[in-house]
Structure 1
Amino acid sequence: MSEEARLRDDICRMARSLFERGLTGGSSGNISARLSDGRLLVTPTGSSFGSLEPGRLSLFDADGRLIGGDKPTKEMPLHSAFYETRPTRTGAVVHLHSCHSVALSMLPDVDPENMLPPLTAYSIMKLGKVTLLPYFIPGDPAMGDAIRGLAGKRSAVMLANHGPVVAGKDLEAAVYAVEELEETAKLALLTHGLKPRMLTPEQIAKVVTTFDVEWD
């Protein structure tokens, strides 16, 4: 099986898993993944993660031109911004409308510089700091500009009242990271107002150093 055929299958398989576990519903969410020659496979607009077809994924050449497949997601600016600002560290981007992370983004006391409280080591290891971006109408190119404004310092952002966008070194890493974001958001909501025992600054620093986490 060729690299492209394998990646097409992997995108559809992982998307179906996310859909079946309720992490994004209807025709929401989108995924992109980069091939070794710079081409990009992207989920089509209006498609459901539960019923993607490998042969219908949108295909872009290394210069960003659509060369095959169905019309791509209207939220390409989100994906392009991560590939442009983190070119050596981004092999895939996943955007979901996952319930708990969206709910957390609506709370007034969330820190926009780091929206996830330090409840576990794993959210820090897989995500670093997650910046909360303002609300944008879906498809607005300004979403990409907001990500570019972070100058590649974040691998994960949360679009207020919309959903998380996570970049990873490959498809598997991006999927695992966005799952961790959703689980941590769920923990944050379950413990909100209960004064949970969080990781101390010293414990956070140890995780950051041990696992070489981007934390500036």
Structure 2
Amino acid sequence: MAASQSPGSTPSRTAPGTTLGRALMWPAMAAGLGMLLIYNSINPSVDDKPPPPPATIVAPVVPEILGSHAAPRPVTPSASAVGPAMARSVPTRLQVPSLAINAPFAELSIGPTGQLNPPPPNDSNLVGWFKGGVAPGERGASIVAGHVDTTTGPAVFLQLQFLKPGSTVDIMRADGSVATFKVDSVETFSKAKFPDKRVYADTPDAQLRLITCGGPYNRAAKDYEDNVVAFAHLDSSKSG
């Protein structure tokens, strides 16, 4: 992942930070509300000489979401709504048993420059949730981002690319409930051709997107060339 950059610029990247993302677009929503997020990666104060590679991943990157956003719309049942869904509640912890992930959440928000403030670069076991969007378990696509590595080494989503369809993702929430998602697919996309609508479009059911960096590390750009995205849907829930 990577850090800050002026909205709308993709080719040249400047940065301060650690690991994540690319062009992120929040699709148009009901009643004229729309959300455009550009999910980009940049690497700032980090030495452009990447750390020793764990598996095929090398070098640090930082998650960044840039752009404007509308206020989160309330979750309202509709005739087209399908599948289970939960009331809004802030996520507190993410667990992915098959990857031995057990990490707390940080809330990510859009800063005054129009950029999403990424998770702290010095914490390798932390995931971020875009609080201006859907909460995990609500109807719609909830966005969760995590570093693949940091300036100090491997991070929480290092193994995300190896998550298998059918695997479960548990998200503990502030109201004491647990949302359990089932993975549908894990795919890698070039940041230059990131499928914004497919990843960020509103959905009639409760879905989850786990996002990190992946693919080759471009030393010149100080950035990973791809994004890894895990698509999942709400499978079950437990009340608190």
**TM-score, structure 1 length as denominator?**
0.31
Q: Which has the higher contact order (CA 8 A, sep 6+)?
A: 2
Structure richer in helix, relative to its length = 1
The alignment's TM-score, normalised by the length of structure 2, stands at: 0.29
